[in-house]
Amino acid sequence: MGSIVATVLDDVEDIDLCFRELFDCFSQPSVWKCYDDVDESLVALKTQGVRLAIASFFDDRLNTICNGFK
């Protein structure tokens, strides 16, 4: 677990704890930011009847993150 974290953060003593904390942190909508024009663009597309979807390799945390932007 956390082999990428271990490689990038080679000065961290408890790599498993660091990985868990990073994993949990990036599940919070508050740490993500959309570009300023995203909301306006999505509203314009929806108004035009365009169906929108998200395709991603992200895990099930993505649902929580996206729901935080509603």
pLDDT tens digits, one per residue of 10-66: 898 998 898 899 999 999 999 999 898 998 999 999 999 999 898 999 999 999 998
The parent domain of residue 9 ranges over 3-67
Counted domains in the chain = 1
Q: Show the CA angle centred on residue 64, arms to residues 33 and 61, nearest 5°.
A: 95
Candidates 34, 28, 13; CA nearest to 62 is 28
62-66-67-70 Cα dihedral, nearest 10 degrees:
180
The pTM for the full model equals: 0.67
Nearest to 1 by CA among 14, 19, 13: 19
